[in-house]
Amino acid sequence: MGDFDASLLGGRYTYANGKHISKNNLLHYAGYVLPINITTASSTNYLGTTPEEKVAQYIEQFIILDPTVLQENQQEQKKIEPLSENLVEAFSLDCMVSSLRIISDFCDHNIEVFSQNFWKYDITAQFEVVSSIFKQSNDPIIRNNICQSIVHFEFLNNNPDNRFREILNSCDAQFLTTHDTLVQRNSVIKQLGTKLNPSPDKDSKRNQLKLVSSMQLIQSQIIQNKIDTSFLESYREFVNQLLKLSDIDQFSVDLIYRYHNQYLMK
């Protein structure tokens, strides 16, 4: 994706007029995770040659965002709401959910169409229908399609539902991994909206995402002179716990000390 190695996880990403604009995705540059809000030109050379230059450039390009740039990132595209129609009626699935299962080419065709397209509908309100059809189907292709559609729905709507975990656990491991990653990423984003859980994650990339996104948020509050002291205290506790980890990466350590000494404590 241009200059970035990106994992799109239910957020928003656009590339237009030479700019990367991303929100709530996992992006990497030169092997390091970027904050959840990115608005930057693709032609910029972001990192220097020495470790000190790399940290300095990272902070300047990704942490210290001008309020107008941050506002550009925060502008939401119109969300496309999932369809609310009843799944049984929309796909003519009476033959499948009826106590008298009708075996026919017509019914099999409807089930196949359903398995490939139900991600367009609000399946969180109709979990029982999806679960029932998955359990009744012995066709591995249909079952795989259902798992793919569940993950597709969760990705597009940024709304993973743990009730579907039982279904996804019966399919290829990649589907469950994507679901769990969405859940865990959403947990970090929710913390950024309130206060941080001080305990570091087992996954170093999520710790990096939590760290740099918090720095970006705090810096925007400093610029606007609207400091959330409760969040700031939770950030301090998280950083203290993070620095105690034996396997913390050196870039995170250098980033913490430079940001704190040059910006946060200025």
Are 142 and 173 a contacting pair, CB within 8 Å?
no
Contacts of 66 (CB under 8 A, 6+ apart): none
Does any domain span residue 116? yes
Contacts of 169 (CB under 8 A, 6+ apart): 176
- Do 38 and 123 share a domain, yes or no? no
| Element spanning 88, H or E | helix 87-90
| Element spanning 239, H or E | helix 229-243
The confidence score (pLDDT) of residue 75 equals: 56
- Do 95 and 180 share a domain, yes or no? yes
The confidence score (pLDDT) of residue 241 equals: 97
Q: On the CB side of 175, how many CA atoms lie within 13 Å of its CA? A: 22
Tens of pLDDT, residue by residue, the chain (266 residues)? 556 666 666 666 777 677 777 777 777 777 788 888 877 755 555 566 788 888 888 888 888 876 666 565 555 555 556 888 899 999 988 876 555 455 577 888 899 999 999 999 999 999 999 999 999 899 999 999 999 999 999 888 877 899 999 999 999 999 999 899 888 888 888 999 999 999 999 888 889 999 999 999 999 899 888 899 999 999 999 999 999 999 999 989 999 999 999 888 86
Does any domain span residue 82? no
The confidence score (pLDDT) of residue 64 equals: 81
- Do 65 and 108 share a domain, yes or no? no
What's the pTM value of the predicted model, to 2 decimals?
0.78
Phi, psi (rounded to 5 degrees) for 222: -65, -45
- Owning domain of residue 38: 5-77+193-264
| Planar angle of CA 145, 149, 155, nearest 5 degrees | 145
Residue with tokens 């397209």: 117
The confidence score (pLDDT) of residue 197 equals: 95
Torsion sign across C-alpha atoms 115, 12, 82, 160 = positive
DSSP state of 145: H
